[in-house]
Amino acid sequence: MRKHQLFCLFMVTILIFMGIPIQSAYADITQIKFTSSLNGTDDIKTLENNNLDVGDNIFVKFPEKVDIEGILKDKIYIYEVLKNKLNPNTTVFSYVYSRDKYVSENTINIMKEIDMDAKIVEGNEDTIEINPKEDLIPLNEYKLMIEDDISTTFWTKSASENIIPTWNVNEMDARDKKEDTQSDTKSYTLTDVPIYNMNNQPIILYVEGEVLLNVDSQMFLEDQVYQGALKNITLEDSYDSKPVGIEKYELEYIDEKTKIKLYPAYRDPNNPGEYLKEKLDSGKLYKLYIPQGTFETRGRKVLEALTLNLYTEPDPTIEKTIAYLEDHYMSIEDLKKEEKTFVVKGANFHHKVVKATLKKGNKEPLDIQDVTFKDPSRIDVHIRNEVKNKLSQDDYIGDYEVCITFDDAPLTVADHVYKTISSVHDSSYNGTDKEDKLYLHIGKGKPIVKGWVPTSKNIDEKSLKHDTLDDVTKDKYFIKLIFDDSDNKLTFSNIDNLTNCIVRPVGGAGNVVDTQFINDILEMSSEKQKTYKENYIFKKEGQQATLYIPVKALRAQTTYQVFISPDIVFYEDIYEGNAPINDWTFSTNVKPLVKEISVGSIPEDYDEDEPLYIYGDFFSSDSGKIKVYFNDIEAESVTVVSENELKVFLPEGSDRLDPGIYDIIVQNDENHKRTVNGSISVIKSGDKEDIPNEEYKIKEDGSIGEVRSNLKMSEDTLLISPSDINERELEIDLDKIMGTEVLTRKIQYEGDKRYNIGMLKTKSKWADITLYGLTLDPYAENDEIMVRIGRVEPSVTKMLKTKLRGKGIKSEFIQVTGENYKMKNIQISMSLKYSNGKNIKVLRYDEDTRSFYENRFTVNLVDKKIEMLSPYKGIFVVVGN
């Protein structure tokens, strides 16, 4: 019977794992419900939807027509899956590494039978109630078997405890322990830890609280438990950068605490199951990392991540080795300015360091007594005082072998026993950059950048010209790097290397380096290339050299980042090239935005000491640079109050403004200025503010803007205030501000691509018109937006009626036309004439194609209005169909 039982368990488990439904003598097991209550809707076979508490009974509900009495005659078993206990009577759990998996070490007695009884639920003859005789364990897996026929696993739900587990590093065996408080995760450095091995000297970690391995990564299959979370733990040899395997894990529980043991070894990657070394190396740094959530409590509270830097204790019986050098590049220029320190990394060092010695060819060795033992894998060598002065001389440039001398005599012996190791001859490092890492490099230093152009904010991109202006450069733009060339040894590598430099908008893509200019030079003869290089690319003057990088025309109001490749320039005597540059940024100037001017008119005898204020955005912060003009007359002075406000004093003396209407021009520089047309009037003393000029008079100057009335025709123009060009909604009653009889109405303002009027609503007795998303057309010839809205001019009406000869005109001709703008949609509500709203259609006349197109519409019979939407500008009219 037992053999048959184990066979069934094996086959059922395999079929469950493969996702194949199990057919039994009683029913398809997928149709059987396993719940924590009689009317339960949970599924105790899963962790997600599970309400089974430790003292609850288990309910098994079968489909109808199942012989429940026959089931109860069989033996029902419940087993607790012990999750890899070595035996049922111990508190030690063990996993071993096997075929790239961690599995429970012992395959016998991994389940313990739970005493229980079972009965048919009264009134529910299709349900069995199972009553375990002992409390189950929270967040634990069990196996339920009904002899020969049914086998499944189920879980208990997690505990309701709120205990948060924590690492206790203080109990670890080490000479010194130091926490890294700057790390994002729990991190410690431990010095002189034991030389751990895979047999009897494990890494032992301590946790406050009972934790188990993450249950989501566990799988019970056949007679073993597989644990995936352990594969996420890493132990790395920091010098060889290769992982060290953990061959076995043990979890031991003592007094509400958990002891975790890790048994390390160097695996042989070419021979699975074999080992290169069964223990860690002495006097070496290892990094152990355990991710957050690898362990958790039965209440599903996860244990935080842990990083340990483990320095194993040195072994005096084993040879010391130098792995490589760090911070080992320095220049004589650096040494002239400051003390330097380089680092010797290796293994098995001890604190009795005598000296470091620098060796180079036949040159006399240079001893350095100023050394510091940091840990068994690190020694710092300090270059100070007389040593520093020597190494900062030109004849000390070169590559040096580094030797470290130790006194290996035991403490009980008076005589010295000196042992010297070399960075070249005793190195254990095998990286591809080995030759580079074994020497101390004293160099002339990389070429020094004295400056670059441009560097600051608000640069006029049109001003980035070459210092030599001629027919070659007059239409080109350049940025430049200025290098120190005190000894005239700096040279330029190759013109082609300029194509590896990048100039682009911050956060953007592409490259605005003028590769066409570079390619044109590359196609020249060698002699001509040399001339162009010396005159236009790399120009040497005095004790400096300037590298010119050609760029395409840059955009205004843009921040650029510049990346310069290494070794574009270099010292020809030692071939030491420039370092890469990736922190160079500059921004081009911006066109100022004027939203509001504090006054719209001033008297002829204005007070020169009384300023006016201009409000807006993107004003230059440099009061000496920004200028304000009234037509072509410059303001007496301009003070930048902020980026959004200017304080302007009017011209005085011979430049005093005469009566008339003036445009105000705000100029950040010659190429970045904003003109506000007709924005201020100077009025003769005693005259009214609406004195007309030869073309128009000011009809209204309200909060929305100024209304100008044309003196020669029935046409009014509203100049919208700059403060309103980015409103979400702007509503204008044209009849109120212009009068009902004005024939042609225009709306005008200075546009900006960054701003739009969400809804411009206009009302009049002729038509109510709303423009959605009104903004400057990116392809506009200039920034002056002009919207013609409402009835059309008589000459246009006559022309359109001629085109529509024979069709009955049922409305006014209503236009939404103009220049330099775009919008998302137009909504029009216009009155009908001579029509009951039947047998009509709406036509739109397109001024570009000079053709009519039908437009969809609806009829409001109550108000006798036509209502429509159109994404296009045009002249709209209702005609008979």
Give pLDDT tens digits for 282-309: 888 999 999 999 999 999 999 999 999 9
pLDDT on residue 3: 40
Contacts (Cβ under 8 Å, ≥6 apart) of 429? 239, 322, 323, 324, 437, 438
Q: Judge whether 575 and 497 are in contact, CB under 8 Å.
A: no
Quickly list DSSP for 350-419.
-S-EEEEEEEETTEEEEEE--EEEEETTEEEEEE-HHHHHHHTSGGG-EEEEEEEEEE---TT--S--EE
The Cα 834–Cα 807 span in angstroms is: 13
pLDDT tens for each residue of 172-199: 999 889 999 888 889 999 999 999 999 9
Give the residue with greater pLDDT, 294 vs 595.
294
Residue 246: how many other CB atoms lie within 10 Å: 25
Higher pLDDT, 24 or 621: 621
Closest CA to 350 of 429, 255, 259, 417: 417
Amino acid at 516: Q
Which amino acid is it at 203? I
Residue 110 pLDDT class (50, 70, 90 cuts): low
pLDDT band at 12 (very low <50, low <70, confident <90, very high): very low
d(CA 521, CA 496): 9
Condensed to tens digits (0 to 9), the pLDDT of residues 234-288 reads: 999 887 766 789 999 999 888 888 999 999 999 988 888 889 889 998 888 999 9
Q: Between 36 and 683, name the one with better pLDDT.
A: 36
Mean pLDDT of 37-44: 88
E strands, 408-501, where?
Answer: 418-422, 439-443, 449-453, 477-484, 490-492
| Mean pLDDT computed over 379-387 | 94
At 345 the three-state DSSP class reads strand
Ranges 263-267, 620-624, 666-670: which has the least confidence:
620-624
> Which value, to the nearest 10 degrees, does the dihedral of the CA atoms of residues 107, 109, 113, 114 take?
-100
Q: How far apart are CA 722 and CA 168, in angstroms?
A: 66
Predicted confidence band of residue 412 (pLDDT cuts 50, 70, 90): low
Tokens of 477: 């733009």
Query: What is the structure's pLDDT at 81?
Result: 67
Distance from chain centroid for Cα 615: 35
pLDDT of residue 470: 93
Residue 106 clears pLDDT 70, i.e. is over it: no
Q: What is the pLDDT of residues 335-372, one digit of tens each?
A: 998 999 999 998 889 888 999 999 998 889 999 999 99
pLDDT of residue 84: 39
Query: How confident is the model at residue 522, as a pLDDT?
Result: 93
Q: Are 380 and 341 in contact (CB under 8 A)?
A: yes
Rounded CA-CA distance 405/756 in Å is 75
Residue type present at position 152: T
Give Cα 588 to chain centroid, integer Å.
25
Q: pLDDT at residue 107 above 50?
A: no
What the block records as the tokens of 696 is 């128009």
d(C-alpha 463, C-alpha 671), whole Å: 9
CB atoms within 10 A of CB 802: 8
Residues 674-697 have a mean pLDDT of 69
- Which structure tokens are listed for 36? 């924590």
Give 709 or 686, the one with higher predicted confidence. 709
Q: What is the DSSP string of 578-644?
A: PPPEEEEEEEB----EEEEES-SEEETT--TTS-EEEEEE---S-TTT-EEEETTEEPSEEEEEETT
Q: Which two tokens stand for residue 664?
A: 């105000």
Distance CA 37, CA 51 (A): 9
Ranking 431-440, 452-461, 463-472 by mean pLDDT, the lowest is: 431-440
More confident call, 411 vs 18: 411
Strands 329-331 and 306-312: unpaired
pLDDT at 620: 85
* Omega before residue 454 within 30° of 0, cis: yes
The Cα angle at residue 210 between residues 209 and 216, in degrees rounded to 5 = 125
State both tokens at 338: 């400051």
Alpha helices in 491-573 (DSSP H): 515-522, 526-532
Pull the structure tokens for residue 461. Answer: 């991109």
pLDDT at 11: 38
Q: Which residue has the tokens 């199942």?
A: 66
Query: Does residue 83 or residue 138 have the better pLDDT?
Result: 138
Share of the chain above pLDDT 70, in %: 91
DSSP character at residue 809? B
- CB neighbour list of residue 269: distance below 8 Å, 6 or more residues apart: none
How buried is 784 (Cβ within 10 angstroms: 0-12 exposed, 13-18 middle, 19+ buried)? middle
Report d(CA 552, CA 477) in Å as an integer. Answer: 6
Question: Mean pLDDT score of the chain, rounded to an integer?
Answer: 86
Catalogue the E-assigned strands of 147-256. 150-155, 166-167, 176-179, 186-193, 203-208, 212-213, 218-221, 224-227, 234-237, 242-243, 245-254
Nearest CA to 614 out of 641, 651, 581 is that of 641
pLDDT of 86 higher than 60: no
The amino acid present at 479, given as its one-letter code, is I
SS3 130: strand
Which helix (H) or strand (E) segment is 499 a member of? none
- Regarding beta strands 874-880 and 840-846, do their DSSP bridges make them parallel or antiparallel, or are they unpaired? antiparallel
Residue 877 CA to residue 811 CA, distance in Å, equals 6
Query: Six-digit token pair at 50?
Result: 């599970």
Q: Rounded to whole angstroms, how far apart are CA atoms 854 and 729?
A: 29
Please tell me the least confidently modeled range out of 19-23, 33-37, 360-364, 575-579: 19-23
pLDDT at 612 over 90: yes
- Stretch 716-724: mean pLDDT, rounded? 89
Residue 48 sits at the vertex; the CA angle it makes with 47 and 54, to the nearest 5 degrees, is 45
Above pLDDT 90, what percent of the chain? 47
Cβ distance 446 to 577 under 8 Å?
yes
Q: 129 pairs with which residues across the strands?
A: 59, 119
Burial group, residue 462, by CB count within 10 angstroms (0-12, 13-18, 19+): middle
Q: In the chain, what is the straight-line distance between the N-terminal and C-terminal CA atoms, in Å?
A: 95
**Structural element, H or E, at residue 732:** strand 729-733
Confidence of residue 82 (pLDDT cuts 50, 70, 90): low
φ, ψ for residue 58, nearest 5 deg: -115, 135
Distance CA 104, CA 223 (A): 9
Question: Which residue(s) pair with 547 in the sheet?
Answer: 481, 538
CA distances to 312, 437, 441, 482 from 430, rounded to whole Å, are: 21, 10, 19, 40
Are 732 and 748 within 8 A, CB to CB?
no
Most distant CA pair in the chain, distance: 127
pLDDT given for residue 829 in this prediction: 95
CA distance 576 to 446: 6
* Strands (DSSP E) found in 410-476: 418-422, 439-443, 449-453
Look at residue 163 in the predicted model and tell me its pLDDT. Answer: 86
Q: Across residues 604-612, what is the average pLDDT?
A: 90
φ/ψ of 66, rounded to 5, equals -115, 140
Q: In this structure, what DSSP letter does residue 798 have?
A: H
Produce one character per residue of 528-560: b if its CB has 16 or more CB atoms within 10 Å, e if not.
eeeebbeebbbbeeeebbbbbbbbbebebebeb
Q: Under a CB-based contact definition with an 8 Å cutoff, are residues 61 and 121 in contact?
A: no
Q: Name the 3-class secondary structure at 526.
A: helix
- The values of phi and psi at residue 738, to 5°, are -115, -25
* pLDDT band, very low/low/confident/very high, at 20 (cuts 50, 70, 90): very low
pLDDT grade, residue 15 (50/70/90)? very low
**Which residues touch 799 (CB under 8 Å, ≥6 apart)?**
none
Q: Whole-prediction pTM value?
A: 0.48
CA atoms within 13 A on the CB side of 771: 25
